[in-house]
């Protein structure tokens, strides 16, 4: 009986995604691109905190809805999209939230400032203002969630959109993983560093 040893190759991959500028006008992104907060079960404690926060109630809070109605009445509906851009960014990007009419807003858009929206923000865009964010839509999520070679992924500050920890059996396997990640629509480029050894792991 021959025993075969499996050598795992670890790599850190900096992921650079195209982004849509969202200063003044958020990009058009369907609400289906955003997962409901209930799917964030791996972070149960954080999910519980978010559920009781004003972020979770941003578009359903009765006081906000009352003030939104007043603002729309006073401005002939001009102020609604400005307010809703922060209170239901998913609703605005999907075209579901129009002025004070929230009857067509999907369940995920009703979650207000939801987990998946914030975790798809790449950075800021243009002069700082209302909803002045760069968002990658769901390119990064699709690149990491559907790829079995990715063992962890982190959003990062700076030029890169995300940092991925990839495990592969050998260099050929690593190249195949990287090819699949690069093929995802919206991914611009990747930069890879192979992890040789672990110096500290706490």
How is the chain split into domains, by residue range? 1-18+136-202, 22-135
Q: How confident is the model at residue 107 (pLDDT cuts 50, 70, 90)?
A: very high
Cα–Cα dist 112/127, whole Å:
23
The alpha helices in 39-148, defined as continuous H runs, are: 44-51, 62-74, 80-87, 89-93, 115-118, 139-145
DSSP at 5: P
Weakest-pLDDT range from 42-51, 76-85, 131-140 = 131-140
Burial class (CB in 10 A: 0-12, 13-18, 19+), 74: exposed
Q: Is the pLDDT of residue 117 over 50?
A: yes
Are the C-beta atoms of residues 59 and 88 closer than 8 Å to each other? Answer: yes
Picking from 74, 131, 68, 130, the residue whose alpha carbon sits closest to that of residue 101 is 68
pLDDT of residue 166: 86
Third-level CATH fold of 1-18+136-202: Alpha-Beta Plaits (3.30.70)
pLDDT band at 82 (very low <50, low <70, confident <90, very high): confident
Centroid of chain to Cα 12: 20
What's the whole-number mean pLDDT along residues 191-199? 80
Q: What's the sign of the alpha-carbon dihedral 124, 110, 32, 146?
A: positive
Full-model pTM: 0.63
Nearest residue to 11 (alpha-carbon basis) of 132, 174, 184:
174
Residue 151's pLDDT is: 83
């Amino acid at each position: 009986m021959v025993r075969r040893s499996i050598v795992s190759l670890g790599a850190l991959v900096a992921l650079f995604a195209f982004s849509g500028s969202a200063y003044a006008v958020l990009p058009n992104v369907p609400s289906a691109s955003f997962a409901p907060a209930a799917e964030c079960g791996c972070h149960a404690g954080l999910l519980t905190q978010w559920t009781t926060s004003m972020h979770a109630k941003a578009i359903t809070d009765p006081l906000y809805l009352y003030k939104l109605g007043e603002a729309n009445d006073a401005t002939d509906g001009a102020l609604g999209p400005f307010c809703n851009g922060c209170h239901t960014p998913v609703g605005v990007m999907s075209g579901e939230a129009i002025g004070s009419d929230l009857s067509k807003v999907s369940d995920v858009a009703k979650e207000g400032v939801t987990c998946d929206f914030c975790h798809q923000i790449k950075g800021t865009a243009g002069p700082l203002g209302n909803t002045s964010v760069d968002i990658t839509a769901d390119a990064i999520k699709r690149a990491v969630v559907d790829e079995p070679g990715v063992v962890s992924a982190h959003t990062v500050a700076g030029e890169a959109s995300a940092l991925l920890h990839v495990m592969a059996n050998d260099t050929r396997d690593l190249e195949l993983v990287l090819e699949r990640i690069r093929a995802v629509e919206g991914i611009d480029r990747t930069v890879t560093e192979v992890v040789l050894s672990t110096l500290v792991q706490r």
